[in-house]
A and B are shown apart, each in its own frame.
Chain A
Amino acid sequence: MTIINATVPLGLIKNIDDYSRIINEILKHNVSFNILKFSTTPEGINLLLDVPEEKIKTITESLTKNNILVNKKGRVVIDEDICIDCGACISLCPTDALNFKDDLSVNFSEEKCIGCLLCIDSCPRFAIQESR
């Protein structure tokens, strides 16, 4: 499974239920998938989805045709130069994307990050940023 981020842009939202367009569009492809996060942002309504790897291309195409933006944004990046390996962020992370290496320095496994952003304001060094 792979995580994608689907957004109904602000200008196209008429109804709060418009996120169902994203779901209906994906369901057409006869796949099962997980909704990891639902959020409303200044850019529009945003769904973080875990979809089967092999269907990424077709799903992306059909969503894009319906004016739904698809990208991999929504994860975080860690600036290793400012990080001091305290580990305060680790207990906030629901997926073990943030973890310790053997030498107890802090490691970020990007592929496990679901972009929940819980970690961002736990960092005393502002080392974690939402990726753009």
Chain B
Amino acid sequence: MAKTYKEINDKIKNGNAVVITAEEMVKYVEENGPKVAAKEIDVVTTGTFGPMCSSGAFLNFGHSDPPIKFEHLWLNDVHAYHGNAAVDCYIGVTRMVDIRPFEYGGGHVIEDLVARKKIRLKGNSYTTDCYPLAEIDTEFTIDDLNQAILCNPRNAYQRYVCAVNSSDRTLYTYMGKLLPNFGNAHFAGAGALSPLSNDPNYETIGIGTRIFLGGGIGYVLGEGTQHNPKGRFGTLFLKGDLKQMTSEYLRGATYPEYGTSMFVGVGVPIPILNEDLALKTAVSNSEILTDIIDYGIPRRNRPNIRQISYEELFSGEIDINGKKVKCSSLSSQYHARKIANELKEWIEKGDFLLNPPAETLPTDSIYKPMRQSLELKFVKDLKRKAVTCYEDCEIKIVAERIINKNTNHIIITTHENKLRGIVTSFDITKAVAQDKHEIKEIITKKVITTTDNEPIDVAARKMKQHEISALPVIDEQNHVVGIITSEELM
């Protein structure tokens, strides 16, 4: 038996619509079957609350006297984008304060705005005949603005990957702090509460769908950027009136050494029009699968370790190659649940009606990588032959090599050409001064290395991070196959 939007809305208006959350729906369908569910349940609510970097807000300040046409402007010292008319701007959540980055950014400005705190506006202009003011420095609150529109090009990922780190150092990523040697795992997404996972073919979600956004009412503008329906990584483009929203559901965030972002609360209602939708909204955490991805390899195609269900992710511990690894979410399941419940209350109270989308989201668009006109260069393209010495040779021989080969770095190997360490010309100078004779007294054994197939930029970042000027190139068996120094990178 099929229902229409009108029938559901009439019930909402009369206050007798039956609304449950996507989590409750799992149990309901399990107990009563999809047929009964389709008849009895009118709306299923979803929710998610996670860091969403592709977020920001359009603000309009009204005109000053004399008028100004911004060339640059800052909100609490965060540079806002200005490329529109005189007093419009877009504040993006990942833009950080120039003076103390990694502490405060655009997401925090938006949180402060909706908390109705005073925001400092500084701006300058090259001045025109119609906009003569050159500089402005003033304070405002959200109530002083004409429009404050949250406008997020990519939110509410259908699902997301689980990140781990196989490398030997701690990584600070947009997936949070990842401990070395698979020390922990982070994932994101609300699993069975995730909006798009409950309508995976986008039958009810599309342009104009009315939703919960940041504690107020928002709308789906269409597919989000990087929308990838075939990979089951659908996304949403969202907008809403910032003036209605609350700072409980829009929270600035900072990922150390990565940057700033904002947690956004999104809830989408799904009308149960038929049995098929009843079944789809009953999707459980064990049925939603994603991949464990190794962020230790800094490439676009990072190694995929294995498939995993959200049920296993939520259990707090996952198995990676036989090792038990602690796992937690970056997004708040507590708030996701709260959002689904709040939206449920709105609908039950008759305050919130459902509407069919003007157009549903595409189900066949393709997500492409960036076209790079310059060919990517690898270590193997720029490496040179390493100057090596065996670990048991005398310091004098090493010193001679440094002079003869005109190099600063000597790689020390075993007789089988396996890497043992590195000695620099400075180490030799020190050895002479301190009257040392054996390599083992001066060798640096903990060496940062690279491999043939590492992109040059990744090798360069390693050198910068560790403040070193050369990396031995090794193969999988730890054999030395070359060296790359900062000179080659120039």
Contacts and interface: CB of A to CB of B under 8 A. Distances in A.
Interface of A: 84-93, 100, 103-106, 118, 121-122, 124-126
Contact of A84 (B177, B179, B316, B335): B335
Interface stretch (B208-216, B321-329, B455-463): B321-329
Contacts of B330: 86-88, 124
Contacts of B251: 84, 125
A30 to B, nearest CB: 36
Interface residues of B, number: 30
B328 A90 contact: yes
B332 A86 contact: yes
A124 B254 contact: yes
Contacts of A124: 51, 176, 253-255, 261, 263, 330
A37 B392 CA distance: 37
B21 interface: no
Contacts of A91: 184-186, 326-328
Nearest to B176: A88
A92 B263 contact: no
B331 to A, nearest CB: 6
B334 A88 contact: no
B303 interface: no
Residue of A84, A121, A125 with highest tally of chain B CB at under 10 A: A84
Nearest to B256: A121
Interface string B281-293: 0000000000000
B333 interface: yes
Given A92-B177, A104-B337, A124-B255, A84 B185 contact: no
Contacts of A85: 332, 334-335
10 smallest CB-CB distances across A and B, nearest first, come from A124-B253, A90-B328, A91-B184, A91-B328, A122-B177, A104-B334, A85-B334, A91-B326, A121-B256, A105-B334
Nearest to B251: A84
A126 B254 contact: yes
Contact of A103 (B51, B255, B334): B334
A126 to B, nearest CB: 7
Interface string B155-191: 0000000000000000010001101000011100000
User: Which of B330, B331, B334 has the largest number of chain A CB atoms within 10 A?
Assistant: B334
A86 B316 contact: no
Contacts of A100: 316
24 contacts: A84-B49, A84-B263, A84-B335, A85-B332, A86-B329, A87-B333, A88-B328, A89-B328, A90-B328, A91-B184, A91-B186, A91-B327, A91-B328, A92-B326, A104-B337, A122-B176, A122-B177, A124-B51, A124-B255, A124-B261, A124-B263, A125-B251, A125-B254, A126-B254
